[in-house]
Amino acid sequence: MFDFLEGYDLLGAFWVTVQLTLLSAIGSLVWGTVLAAMRVGPVPLMRGFGTAYVNIVRNIPLTVIILFTSLGLNQTLNVTLGAQRFDVINFRLAVLGLVAYTAAFVCEAIRSGINTVPVGQAEAARALGLSFIQVLTLVVLPQAFRSVVGPLTNVLIALTKNTTVAAAIGVAEAALLMKEMIENEAQLLLISAIFAFGFVCLTLPTGLILGWVGKKVAVKR
């Protein structure tokens, strides 16, 4: 029944999906945190930039962003992100696009977390003589992160599934292999089911583990 799988590197394709997910997750967590810091910061210019970025980027379809990285950045502006081989360039462009897009959602999740931290926490930190950056990194963000593990898990799961859009610029991840197999084999239903199962295998444990982590690190008040 599963004879048709021979000759296809199913694990390899999902491994690319995992790599896309992890690198984009780390990148968007960092960039999203910086954006959130800008949006709550005292500098009007940065606040404006953060707000504009989030509202523009989260309203553009991911497909458009990913295609822009390839057609706009790479083919028009010759951005190669330090790579020579075509497939490496596309992989990095896909990560860049996913980071740019996902960071907008990470930013908003973190910002909602910042709003759960009582004002008095920041006031007490400022009263000790801590700088804005110190208040944010030592007192506010550590508490904010703990309260948004749940929402960030949603973003991570969405990101895992969003990596399939990278197929649009030829990154050899799971969805591209699926498309190839559907074209070559007669087992349409079975192929879809296999890939659906593959993604559930990635995202379900993510949700369960991070759900447990969220409870574990919750701040008691």
Partner 1 sequence: MTEVSMAKEDVASTDDLVVLKNVNKHFGSLHVLQDIDLTVARGEVVVVIGPSGSGKSTLCRTINRLETIDSGTITIDGKPLPQEGKELARLRADVGMVFQSFNLFAHKTVLENVTLGQIKVRRKDKQQAEARARELLDRVGVGAQADKYPAQLSGGQQQRVAIARALAMDPKVILFDEPTSALDPEMINEVLEVMQQLARDGMTMIVVTHEMGFARSAADRVVFMADGRIVEQATPDQFFSNPRSERARDFLSKILHH
Residue 112 touches partner 1, criterion: CB under 8 A = no
Min dist CB 155 to partner 1, Å, is: 22
CB distance 153 to 102 below 8 Å: no
Q: Report the distance separating Cα 7 and Cα 76, nearest Å.
A: 36
Tell me how many residues contact partner 1 (CB under 8 A): 22
Residue 116 touches partner 1, criterion: CB under 8 A = no
- Pick 103 or 122: Cβ nearer partner 1: 122
CB distance 95 to 163 below 8 Å: no
- Pick 7 or 42: Cβ nearer partner 1: 42
Residue 131 touches partner 1, criterion: CB under 8 A = yes
Where do the H-state alpha helices sit in 10-85? 10-40, 44-57, 62-67
Min dist CB 63 to partner 1, Å, is: 40
Min dist CB 31 to partner 1, Å, is: 24
- What the block records as the tokens of 208 is 């369960």
Task: Please pick, from the candidates 126, 161, 179, 194, the single residue that binds partner 1 as defined by CB under 8 A.
Answer: 126
Residue 134 touches partner 1, criterion: CB under 8 A = yes
- Give CA angle at 175 (169, 181), nearest 5°: 110
Q: Work out the number of other CB atoms within 10 angstroms of the CB of residue 49.
A: 14
Residue 130 touches partner 1, criterion: CB under 8 A = yes
38-77 footprint of partner 1 as x/- string (CB under 8 A): ----x-----------------------------------
Query: Quick one: which of 94, 92, 103, 101 has its CA closest to 31?
Result: 103
Sign of the torsion formed by the C-alpha atoms of 79, 83, 85 and 90 = negative
Binding site for partner 1 (CB under 8 A): 42, 118, 120-121, 123-131, 134, 138-139, 142-143, 146, 219-221
